[in-house]
Structure 1
Amino acid sequence: MAKLNVGILYGGQSTEHEVSMRSAESVLDALDKDKYDVKLVHISKKGEWLLSHQSEEIRSLEAGDGATGLSIIPSKQLSSKKGGEALDVILPILHGTAGEDGSVQGLLEMADIPYVGCNVRSSAVCMDKDMTKKLLKLEGIKVADWVLYRHDEKGGVDYGTVKRELGLPMFVKPVNQGSSVGVSKVTDEESFYEAVALAFEFDTKVMVESAVEGREIEVSVLGNAHPIVSVPGEIIANTDFYSYESKYIDENGAALEIPAKLAEDTKQRIQKTALDAFRILDCEGMARVDVFLTETGEVIVNEINTLPGFTSISMYPKLLEASGIGYSELLDRLIELSLERHNRDRQLKTDIM
């Protein structure tokens, strides 16, 4: 059987550029080279697409580093001055804006290249925490209370009003960011305005969210029409909250407990909530669903991550490994799911004649 030509797309113009590279290193290492010919495509912080000629190493590239500049064109091609690179599928190992927000997904669909992960619509919706909450709440899924401010409303942000509505403590977040970038926990007026200013540095929409007292539980979902749900895992933060530093810098910032210590009925309720959220938001391929479990047993959805961290120690692959699906097998399944969806969607009519 001929090998599939698989492209790993990594880097990107987001605050999670370095996180993407760590994930891509793990993916490259785990892909079965007997099944796949791998091409590495680095998106620089300037937005350049560069084909690495060292396909055995994830590197940070800039124009002039000996890499080939690429443009993307229809018919499954990444084109350069030296010719085209035909790809059977792309693994967009990108995190944050212009990576998991539907931007790259739309580009790849226009180029008719199958890609791993959620489609344009669900990627965009899940990246936007405000839209995620609105849709889940509409379908009866519990979410934390929140207030939204847009860029042109910055002058109207009032601590007293928000405090009366949400109480203390509360969290201030950029709406379209991941990995807790720009997120602050607020306990007083001074920290509130500092947090709002910080969040607006990363997005034109900022949300203030009531704090939920509860355990932080995460679940991995895998599949298209018939998704499966992993065992739940628990994040036990050793800091004030599960911040960017806790996730990626401070090795003592948090402990992961897989599987989480849960009663069977509670475990099943969390898994059902995760699966319901996955379907409501029209996800396919993969997503990690993060929830809070309160002392009274309520399951409150925090967010859905459509391109979760993919290092060998990240929660998404670790949870599925604990559920019987190893890292390399997981990548095989994700590639199969992307080709299955692409073939299905190509059967749809594009004209009425």
Structure 2
Amino acid sequence: MKTKVALVQGGYTGEAEVSFKSAAFVYAQIDKEKYDVFPVTISVDQWYHQDQQGNQYPISKEDFSFQREGEKISFDVAFIIIHGVPGEDGRLQGYFDMIGLPYTSCSALTSALTMNKGYTKAVIQDIPNLHVAQSVLLFNEHRPEAVDLVTAKLSLPIFVKPNAGGSSIGMSKVTDWTALKQALDNAYDAENTGQQVLVEEFVTGREFSQGIYRDTKGELQVLPATEVRTTREFFDYEAKYTPGLTEEITPADLNESQKANADALIKEIYIRLNCKGMVRIDFFIENNTDKFYFIEINTVPGQTAQSFIPQQVRAAGKTETEFYGELIEAALQG
């Protein structure tokens, strides 16, 4: 009997478009000789499986199953590839925990915590040799005085971004105080981000993104880092998803000391946040000091052919088929 895998895609936010692209790539790579893979779309209006012929089958929310020609199809494991709500913020994980279905991502608690950039920094900031930029965390109640709170504590340039959410939606770089109010409004008003804003001082350095996962033996495997160089002011939504705006170097050109330090800190972040499955950690290495500055963690990283994780898997000498098989088997082991 093949293992039945629910490839969960879609979501409730604008990141659904990216999720469908990621899921299509994962579907194409998973070993069909070993796994029966069923794409399952989750949207605000409906949950359903759509087969290759375009037939749709509603998913029962009682046990995440569906009926096909009188047969009940239940899953052995869920491969979550929803970016944002509800696949990355712990909601879906909590549901799967309640019905007893294993899944490939972090737990409900870790997923909820890491969607909140400010709370994540609070948990990891005392890790030795890890640095976090000076920041101000703003809630909706702070909105009337937000400009004053930021200018009193931070120095330009700064990044203003929603405290939850992804794909750099609602994010701005501010180099002049006159632009702060508009940047704050953009971040506060970004869809499905909870009206919380994180403002951080700019770190001058090289930007990297690096994946890590736990293999079927329970051992942590750090993938080769990717260096991100963009022609944009910073790595924003357009830079992420518009071809030609960003240069991505995998594996990154790091000396032995830089690589060893980054690998060790990424492992410690993974452990401290009690992560599972694959995650991606973004960080700066500051110019002249080589200090490691944590940016953020992504617990459901993009999985298109051009995405960081597949690039890093290939650089590590693995195929995506092997990698996704490892994630599924590790999830089944619990």
Shorter-chain TM-score range: over 0.9
Alignment of 1:296-315 (within 5 A): 296-315=289-308
* Equivalent residue in structure 2 for 1:287, among 253, 276, 279: 279
Kindly indicate whether residue 233 of structure 2 is the aligned counterpart of residue 234 of structure 1: no
Shift of 1:211: 0.8
Aligned residue in 1 for 2:41: 42
Aligned residue in 2 for 1:71: 60
**Contact 2:147 2:180 survives alignment (8 Å):** no
Alignment of 1:92-171 (within 5 A): 92-140=80-128, 141-159=130-148, 161-171=149-159
Q: Deviations over 1:121-149 (max 9, x none)?
A: 11111111011100111334311111011
Gaps of 5+ in 2: none
Give the letter aligned to residue 19 of structure 2. Answer: S
**Contact 1:15 1:181 survives alignment (8 Å):** no
Aligned residue in 2 for 1:12: 11
Give the letter aligned to residue 212 of structure 1. Answer: V
Aligned residue in 1 for 2:312: 319
Q: Cα gap change, 1:294/1:333 in structure 2, threshold over 3 Å: closer, same or farther?
A: same
**Contact 1:136 1:142 survives alignment (8 Å):** no
Kindly indicate whether residue 248 of structure 2 is the aligned counterpart of residue 256 of structure 1: yes
What is the root-mean-square deviation of aligned Cα atoms in Å? 1.7
TM-score (norm 2): 0.93
Q: Deviations over 1:12-65 (max 9, x none)?
A: 101201000110010011011111111111123x3410110227xxxxxxxxx8
Measured in 2, the distance between the counterparts of 1:218 and 1:244 equals 15
Shift of 1:83: 5.7
**Contact 1:172 1:207 survives alignment (8 Å):** yes
Give the letter aligned to residue 320 of structure 1. Answer: V
Q: Deviations over 1:210-263 (max 9, x none)?
A: 111110111110106421111221011111000111111x21110110111111
Q: Equivalent pairs: percent with the same residue?
A: 34
Q: Indicate the SS of the match to 2:282.
A: strand
Q: Cα gap change, 1:241/1:124 in structure 2, threshold over 3 Å: closer, same or farther?
A: same
**Contact 2:11 2:87 survives alignment (8 Å):** yes
Measured in 1, the distance between the counterparts of 2:209 and 2:137 equals 25
Give the letter aligned to residue 52 of structure 1. Answer: Q
Q: Deviations over 1:248-293 (max 9, x none)?
A: 1x21110110111111111110111111111111101111111100
Give the letter aligned to residue 143 of structure 1. Answer: V
Measured in 2, the distance between the counterparts of 1:183 and 1:84 equals 45
Q: Deviations over 1:299-334 (max 9, x none)?
A: 111111110011121101211221122111010000
Shift of 1:164: 4.1
Give the letter aligned to residue 174 of structure 1. Answer: P
**Contact 1:215 1:292 survives alignment (8 Å):** yes
Q: Flag as ranges the 4+ runs of structure 1 deviating above 6 A.
A: none
Measured in 1, the distance between the counterparts of 2:154 and 2:60 equals 47
**Contact 1:50 1:69 survives alignment (8 Å):** yes
Measured in 1, the distance between the counterparts of 2:208 and 2:163 equals 21
Kindly indicate whether residue 262 of structure 2 is the aligned counterpart of residue 270 of structure 1: yes
Kindly indicate whether residue 217 of structure 2 is the aligned counterpart of residue 218 of structure 1: no
TM-score (norm 1): 0.88
**Contact 1:30 1:327 survives alignment (8 Å):** yes
